[in-house]
Chains A and B, each alone.
Chain A
Amino acid sequence: MTTLIAGISRYLMILLIALYTYYNFRFFSMKDEEGRNRACGRQLVCMFMLHFLANLVIVLNTGSETLMLFYGIQVVFFLCYLFLYRFFYKNASRLLLNNACMLLCTSFIILTRLNPERAMRQFAIVALSTVAAFIIPFIIDRIWQLARFPWLYAIPGIVLLLAVCTAGTTSYGAKLFLTIAGISLQPSEFVKISFVFFAAAMFYRSTEFKNVAVTTVVAAAHVLILALSKDLGSALIYFVSYLMMLFVATSSWVYLGLGTGSGVLASTISYKLFAHVRRRVEAWRDPWSDVADKGYQVAQALFAVGCGGWFGTGLYQGMPDKIPVVDMDFIFAAISEELGGIYALCILFICLGCFLQFMLIAVKMQAMFYKLIAFGLGTMYITQVFLTIGGVTKFIPSTGVTLPFVSYGGSSALSTLLVFNIIQGLYILKRGEEEEDEKGEAQSEGQ
Chain B
Amino acid sequence: MKKGKPNPKANRNILWFAYGVVGVFLCMSLYFAHFIFAESEDTINNPYNARINGMEKRVVRGKILADDGTVLAETLVSEDGTETRSYPKGQQYAHVVGYSTMGKTGMESLANFYLVNSHVNLMEKVVNELSEQKNIGDNVVTTLNNELQTIAYEALGDRRGAVVAMEPDTGKVLAMVSKPAFDPNVVAAQWEELVSGDGSEALLLNRATQGLYPPGSTFKIITALEYMRENQGTYPGYNFSCDGIYEYESYKIQCYHKTAHGDQDFGLAFANSCNGAFASLGLSLNLKELKSLSEQLLFNRELPVSLPYNKSIYQMGENADTWEIFQTVIGQGGTLVTPMHNLLVMSAIANGGILMTPYFIDHVENTGGQTVKKFMPSVCGELMVANESAALTALLKQVVAEGTGSALLTDAYTAAGKTGSAEFETGRETHAWFVGFAPAENPKIAVCVIVEESGSGGKTAAPIARKLFDAWLTP
Contacts and interface: CB of A to CB of B under 8 A. Distances in A.
A43 to B, nearest CB: 20
Interface stretch (B32-40, B140-148, B341-349, B375-383): B32-40
Nearest to A147: B1
Contact of A251 (B1, B13, B31): B13
Interface in A139-177: 144, 147
Nearest to A385: B25
A92 interface: no
A419 interface: no
A345 B29 contact: yes
A309 interface: yes
Query: How many B residues touch the partner, as a band?
Result: 35 or more
A292 B48 CA distance: 8
Contact of B4 (A204, A288, A356): A204
Chain B CB within 10 Å — which of A144, A318, A352, A394 has the most? A352
A383 B64 CA distance: 49
A368 interface: yes
Contact of B25 (A341, A344, A352, A366): A352
Contacts, number: 129
Interface stretch (A12-20, A75-83, A263-271, A300-308): A300-308
B158 interface: no
Interface in A350-394: 352, 355-356, 359, 362-363, 366-369, 371, 375, 379, 382, 386, 389-390, 393-394
A121 interface: no
Contacts of B39: 306
A348 B29 contact: yes
Contacts of A379: 17
Nearest to A356: B18
Query: How many A residues touch the partner, as a band?
Result: 35 or more
B6 A393 contact: no
Chain A CB within 10 Å — which of B24, B25, B126 has the most? B25
Contacts of A306: 35-36, 39-41, 43-44
Contacts of A305: 32, 35-36, 40
B33 A345 contact: yes
Given A305-B36, A366-B4, A319 B54 contact: yes
B132 interface: yes
Contact of A386 (B1, B24, B33, B51): B24
Contact of B130 (A3, A359, A375): A3
Contacts of A319: 50-51, 54
Given A304-B51, A395-B32, 17 more contacts: A247-B17, A249-B7, A296-B48, A303-B49, A305-B40, A306-B39, A307-B40, A349-B25, A355-B18, A366-B4, A367-B2, A368-B10, A369-B1, A371-B14, A375-B17, A386-B21, A395-B27
13 contacts: A248-B14, A248-B17, A292-B48, A310-B36, A319-B54, A344-B32, A348-B28, A366-B6, A371-B10, A379-B17, A386-B28, A395-B28, A395-B32
Q: 8 closest Cβ contacts across the A-B interface? A: A306-B40, A144-B1, A251-B9, A368-B4, A306-B44, A359-B18, A291-B48, A303-B49
Interface of A: 3-4, 7, 144, 147, 204, 244, 247-249, 251, 288, 291-292, 296, 299, 302-307, 309-310, 318-319, 322, 341, 344-345, 348-349, 352, 355-356, 359, 362-363, 366-369, 371, 375, 379, 382, 386, 389-390, 393-395
Interface of B: 1-7, 9-11, 13-15, 17-18, 21-22, 24-25, 27-29, 31-33, 35-36, 39-41, 43-44, 46, 48-51, 54, 126, 129-130, 132
